[in-house]
Structure 1
Amino acid sequence: MAFRESFYRFLMTQRDPDSHSEIAEFANNAQNDSSFPRHSQDYEEISNYLELNAGYLPSMTIFDDAYQMYLDKMN
């Protein structure tokens, strides 16, 4: 089975402090979230965490879009 990087590691490639895109802002904020499930690849685990703990994420649609980008890159 091929190695697949964690969602967090992928998300960190989307950081850009000068960007106002929703995904870049999500990535910038996730970087500062010390409890983020950094080693997970699992949609449900990450989604549940974000719904309960990520006040910095204004809409779960942003996570869904970022996760789809992650899947596209991994396939």
Structure 2
Amino acid sequence: MKRSFYQWLMTQRNPNGHDELANFANNAFFDQAFPKQSEDYHEIAQYLELNGTYLPNMDVFDGAFREYQELNQL
């Protein structure tokens, strides 16, 4: 079964981590309105552009989404 982006992102959480992906995952965990069931790049990107103040830049999301897509193609 294919996981949503959020479900995959939660596997990247690390409360003690300092890399951008771990920070993104840690902050998304506390974002009650994050589109948790979505697998759609554009839906999530639009949400983050409007609400993702915890994301330093969209490059972090773009890289994370690429990783997510690569794993889902296996």
TM range (shorter): over 0.9
Give me the identity figure in percent.
52
The equivalent of 2:14 in structure 1 is 16
TM-score norm. by structure 2 comes to 0.97
Task: Give the unaligned 5+ runs of structure 1.
Answer: none
The gaps in structure 2 that reach 5 residues or longer are: none
SS in 2 for 1:17: coil
Q: 2:34 aligned with 1:69, yes or no?
A: no
1:47 to 19, 31, 45: 45
Matched AA of 2:30: N
- The runs of 4+ residues in structure 1 deviating greater than 3 Å are none
TM-score (normalizing by structure 1): 0.95
Q: Give 2:40's aligned amino acid.
A: D
Give 1:13's aligned amino acid. T
Question: How many residues are matched?
Answer: 73
Provide the rounded CA distance (Å) in 1 between the counterparts of 2:61 and 2:47. Answer: 11
* CA drift at 1:18: 0.9
